[in-house]
């Protein structure tokens, strides 16, 4: 065919595709109307099958045999969407790349559907949702994240050349064979690495793979520069394979990409705007008290809960959540969960009396569930068929005395529907805290990675269905702190618990880093004051909650009057700022924090508004300079009546930070109102 150029985009995003006697190339992607951008010509999709892997050997997901044979067939476009179809005459695969501009942003969402138009079966083993060419690695810096239970969201920034060494490929006249890669392992999608990254120089590119099952992203080198490939599950990494009979199709996991004229923070601001087009409406971001963290720790009773209910209401909480343990009289309920019936003797007057007290105190009520899990000692384990559980090689998967439901099976869905409908009807709940505390491995079935993907897609559909049946129901994606913190789930839930970390001194790096992965208004940051804390430590603990979605816990009735005053004031400050937090972009004036950093800072700034700036000290006091805030005035917001830190604004903010533990929240007025 003759060469064809597709130019497509909006006022905030511009893309160019090249079609001809070669696979379709994504040749340009930039914010606005055709700025310099970051993308250079690269085939936009790669397809790997059991019969044919790469056309040129390497370890990367590029130069696939099928991908190199794809040729443009046709396309359709409007102001928001673009669909490009390519066909491989040898395999008979029709590949459709679909793009959608996130309205009002410089971000787009991509996914790919492949249809088998041949007369024989084809087995897919991997498929990129999007591949981008990115020019010279020497011009770029890379930001990537790793995670761990109790140490979530540890980001690393480095020159891209540290990940992709200079191989002098021009001398060799061919592409490189290595790669820098991050991938998920098992069903904890963020249990080890994060599906988000940023490349930046003068311009910035941020991405996220939106999968609760397997995901993979990688950077590699070609003779023309470097590339970024974004994938869902693969055969090599996730034991994924999908057989397509003639006429059958498969759709990849979505990915989000955002571009910006600027560096790291600008790119993450653009990704933040993109994320806001995915999530459900957030409403007023109510303050939630949960009885778990450093408090009842999954051992509730009427006598323990009633004082907490009164104190939470007095502090200004709007929801009260009864956490784990409500369904079993013993403390060792790990292997018995799954029936979700009230414990027979745990609650004097029954659980309904506790929820009546919550409602009488003017709060809405919530409850903890781990819906996908059935303990091996639960009666449900024998009531549901084997096919309703994860299985490998014909046997139910057991992980730490627990089975895992497969929500592709109607019996599993019916069981959970009955549970939620009953809890709403009997207890009047308005909030579900959904946990996920095991990683049962790569998945279920013969091709386990495909089974896990199918289950997580069914889980997402179930979450949408219960909210459709019960409008106004708030849903938290807990996942053992943040072990499954991805936008396949966060696009259909309201908040994310950012950690299970119980040490208030170790929470700040988690709270500061979280908005790189999650919308600020979805960052459920725990604030758990304790009577053992000094007033200064109480402030320190509360600041983490203020800078996101305040998630209150702790034995509030035991606090000293001065501490109660500080807690109530923190809740009031958060409520005063929460509408702006829901519009804010995160900034990191000291960079993304190291785990052991003594001084940490996070700014949240809504367009046209003053910035909310939090600073924590965990070590020896010193003077710090916070750049990038364009500040002309800085004032303390919390705590209002404490000794102020000496602060000076002259474009940057200079602070005399005292010895830790200490923290403050400031309002920063800019010399000009920020637009991002």
Residue 661, preceding bond cis, omega within 30 degrees? yes
Number of domains in the chain: 3
Q: Are residues 591 and 451 in the same domain?
A: no
Strands 495-497 and 523-527, by their bridges, are parallel
Query: How far is the C-alpha of 673 from the C-alpha of 676, rounded, in Å?
Result: 9
CA neighbor of 526 nearest in space, from 548, 546, 552: 552
- End position of a domain, from candidates 501, 535, 557: 557
CA within 13 Å, CB half, 386? 8
**Considering the entire predicted model, what is its pTM?**
0.97
Environment class of 53 (CB within 10 Å of its CB; exposed 0-12, middle 13-18, buried 19+): middle
Q: What is the pLDDT of residues 202-232, one digit of tens each?
A: 899 999 999 999 999 999 998 788 999 999 9
Quick check: 369 pLDDT over 60? yes
Quick check: 1 pLDDT over 70? no
CA neighbor of 484 nearest in space, from 154, 194, 183: 194
| pLDDT for res 644 | 80
Query: How far is the C-alpha of 594 from the C-alpha of 382, rounded, in Å?
Result: 48
Main-chain phi, psi angles of 31, to 5 degrees: -75, 150
- Mean pLDDT to the nearest integer, 637-661: 92
* Two tokens, residue 651: 């474009």
| CATH number of the domain encompassing residue 468 | 3.20.20.70
Quick check: 24 pLDDT over 80? yes
Strands 255-260 and 204-209, by their bridges, are antiparallel
Q: Are residues 464 and 610 in the same domain?
A: no
Q: What is the pLDDT of residues 506-523, one digit of tens each?
A: 999 999 999 999 999 999
Quick check: 674 pLDDT over 60? no
Q: Are residues 323 and 227 in the same domain?
A: no
- Of residues 313 and 175, the one with the higher pLDDT is 313
Q: Are residues 12 and 123 in the same domain?
A: yes
Q: Is residue 84 part of a domain?
A: yes
Query: Could you tell me how many residues make up the chain?
Result: 676
Q: Is residue 159 part of a domain?
A: yes
Q: Are residues 110 and 233 in the same domain?
A: yes
- Mean pLDDT to the nearest integer, 293-305: 98
Percentage above 90 pLDDT, the chain:
90
Q: What is the pLDDT of residues 260-290, one digit of tens each?
A: 999 999 999 999 999 999 987 777 899 999 9
- Mean pLDDT to the nearest integer, 473-490: 96
- Interhelix angle for 561-581 vs 535-546, to 10°? 20
Total Cβ atoms within 10 A of residue 195:
28
Query: How far is the C-alpha of 507 from the C-alpha of 611, rounded, in Å?
Result: 22
Q: Are residues 293 and 170 in the same domain?
A: no
Query: How far is the C-alpha of 114 from the C-alpha of 127, rounded, in Å?
Result: 9
Query: How far is the C-alpha of 155 from the C-alpha of 486, rounded, in Å?
Result: 16
- Mean pLDDT to the nearest integer, 46-68: 90
CA neighbor of 657 nearest in space, from 627, 626, 621: 621
Query: How far is the C-alpha of 14 from the C-alpha of 36, rounded, in Å?
Result: 10
CA within 13 Å, CB half, 158? 11
The pLDDT confidence band at residue 170, using thresholds 50, 70 and 90, is confident
| pLDDT for res 371 | 98
Q: Are residues 230 and 332 in the same domain?
A: no
Q: Are residues 138 and 269 in the same domain?
A: yes
Please enumerate in sequence order all residues whose Cβ is within 8 A of that of 308, keeping only pairs 6 or more positions apart, or say none. 289, 291, 295, 296, 320, 555, 556, 557
* Two tokens, residue 22: 């070669």
| Cross-strand pairs, 251 | 113
| CATH number of the domain encompassing residue 53 | 2.70.98.60
Q: Are residues 320 and 269 in the same domain?
A: no
Please enumerate in sequence order all residues whose Cβ is within 8 A of that of 671, keeping only pairs 6 or more positions apart, or say none. 630, 631, 632, 651
Q: Is residue 538 part of a domain?
A: no
Quick check: 36 pLDDT over 70? no
- Mean pLDDT to the nearest integer, 416-435: 98
Q: Is residue 541 part of a domain?
A: no
| CATH number of the domain encompassing residue 657 | 2.60.40.1180
Total Cβ atoms within 10 A of residue 22:
15
The pLDDT confidence band at residue 675, using thresholds 50, 70 and 90, is very low
Domain of 15, in residue numbers: 4-276
First to last CA, the chain: 43
Query: How far is the C-alpha of 520 from the C-alpha of 399, rounded, in Å?
Result: 33
Quick check: 178 pLDDT over 80? no
Quick check: 34 pLDDT over 60? no
The pLDDT confidence band at residue 147, using thresholds 50, 70 and 90, is very high
Strands 288-290 and 549-552, by their bridges, are parallel
| pLDDT for res 676 | 40
* Two tokens, residue 324: 């784990």
Q: Is residue 13 part of a domain?
A: yes
* Two tokens, residue 186: 């098992």
Quick check: 141 pLDDT over 90? yes
Q: What is the pLDDT of residues 453-466, one digit of tens each?
A: 999 999 999 999 99
Q: Is residue 572 part of a domain?
A: no
Q: Are residues 352 and 420 in the same domain?
A: yes
Q: What is the pLDDT of residues 471-481, one digit of tens each?
A: 999 999 999 98
Query: How far is the C-alpha of 595 from the C-alpha of 503, rounded, in Å?
Result: 13
Q: Are residues 374 and 496 in the same domain?
A: yes
Quick check: 169 pLDDT over 80? no
Q: Is residue 49 part of a domain?
A: yes
Q: Is residue 537 part of a domain?
A: no
Q: Are residues 236 and 334 in the same domain?
A: no
Q: What is the pLDDT of residues 532-580, one digit of tens each?
A: 999 999 999 999 999 999 999 999 999 999 999 999 999 999 999 999 9
């Amino acid at each position: 065919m003759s060469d064809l150029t597709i130019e497509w985009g909006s006022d905030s995003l511009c893309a160019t595709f090249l079609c001809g006697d070669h696979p379709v190339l994504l040749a340009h992607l930039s914010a606005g109307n055709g700025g310099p951008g970051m993308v250079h010509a690269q085939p936009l999709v790669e397809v790997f099958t059991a019969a044919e892997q790469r056309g040129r050997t390497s370890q990367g997901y590029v130069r696939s045999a099928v991908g190199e044979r794809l040729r443009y067939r046709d396309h359709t476009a409007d102001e928001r969407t673009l669909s490009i179809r390519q066909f491989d005459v040898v395999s008979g695969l029709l590949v459709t790349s679909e793009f959608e501009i996130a309205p009002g942003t410089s971000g787009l969402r991509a996914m790919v559907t492949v249809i088998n138009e041949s007369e024989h079966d084809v087995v897919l083993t991997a498929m990129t949702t999007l591949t981008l060419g990115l020019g010279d690695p020497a011009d770029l810096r890379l930001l990537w994240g790793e995670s761990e239970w109790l140490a979530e969201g540890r980001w690393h920034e480095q020159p891209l050349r540290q990940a992709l060494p200079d191989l002098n490929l021009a001398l060799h006249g061919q592409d490189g064979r290595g790669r820098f890669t991050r991938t998920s392992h098992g069903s904890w999608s963020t249990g080890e690495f994060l599906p988000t990254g940023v490349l930046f120089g003068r311009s910035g590119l941020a991405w996220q793979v939106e999968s609760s099952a397997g995901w993979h992203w990688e950077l590699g080198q070609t003779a023309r520069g470097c590339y970024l490939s974004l994938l869902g599950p693969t055969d090599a990494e996730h034991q994924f394979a999908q057989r397509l009979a003639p006429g059958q199709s498969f759709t990849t996991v979505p990915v989000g990409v955002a571009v910006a004229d600027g560096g790291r923070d600008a790119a993450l601001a653009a990704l933040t705007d993109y994320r806001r087009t995915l999530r459900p409406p957030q409403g007023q971001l109510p303050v939630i008290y949960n009885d778990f963290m450093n408090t009842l720790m999954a051992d509730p009773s009427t006598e323990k809960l009633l004082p907490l209910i009164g104190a939470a209401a007095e502090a200004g909480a709007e929801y009260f959540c009864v956490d784990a343990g409500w369904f079993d009289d013993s403390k060792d309920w790990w292997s018995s969960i799954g029936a979700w019936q009230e414990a027979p003797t745990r609650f004097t007057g029954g659980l309904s009396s506790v929820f009546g007290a919550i409602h009488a105190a003017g709060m809405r009520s919530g409850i903890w569930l781990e819906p996908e899990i059935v303990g091996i000692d639960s009666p449900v384990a024998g009531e549901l068929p084997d096919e309703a559980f994860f299985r490998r090689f014909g046997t139910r998967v057991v992980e730490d005395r627990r089975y895992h439901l497969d929500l592709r099976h109607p019996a599993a869905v019916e069981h959970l529907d009955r549970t939620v409908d009953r809890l709403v009807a009997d207890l009047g709940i308005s909030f579900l805290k959904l946990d996920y505390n095991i990683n049962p491995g790569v998945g279920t079935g013969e091709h386990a990675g495909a089974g896990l993907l199918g289950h997580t897609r069914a889980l997402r559909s179930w979450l949408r269905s219960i909210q459709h049946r019960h409008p106004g129901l708030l849903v938290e994606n807990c996942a053992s702190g943040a072990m499954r913190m991805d936008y396949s789930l966060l696009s259909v839930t309201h908040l994310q618990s950012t950690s299970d970390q119980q040490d208030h001194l170790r929470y700040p790096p988690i709270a500061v880093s979280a908005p790189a992965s999650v919308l600020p208004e979805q960052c459920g940051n725990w604030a758990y004051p304790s009577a053992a804390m000094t007033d200064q430590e109480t402030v320190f603990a509360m600041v983490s909650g203020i800078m996101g979605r305040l998630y209150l816990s702790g034995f509030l009735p035991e606090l000293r009057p001065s501490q109660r005053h500080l807690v109530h004031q923190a809740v009031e400050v958060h409520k005063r700022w929460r509408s702006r937090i829901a519009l804010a972009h995160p900034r990191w004036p000291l960079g993304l924090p190291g785990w052991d950093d003594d001084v940490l800072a996070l700014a949240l700034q809504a367009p046209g508004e003053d910035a909310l700036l939090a600073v924590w000290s965990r070590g020896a006091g010193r003077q710090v300079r916070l750049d990038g805030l364009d500040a002309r005035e800085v004032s303390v917001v919390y705590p209002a009546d404490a000794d102020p830190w000496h602060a000076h604004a002259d474009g940057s903010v200079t602070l005399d930070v005292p010895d830790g533990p200490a923290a403050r929240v400031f309002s920063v007025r800019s010399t000009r109102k920020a637009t991002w």
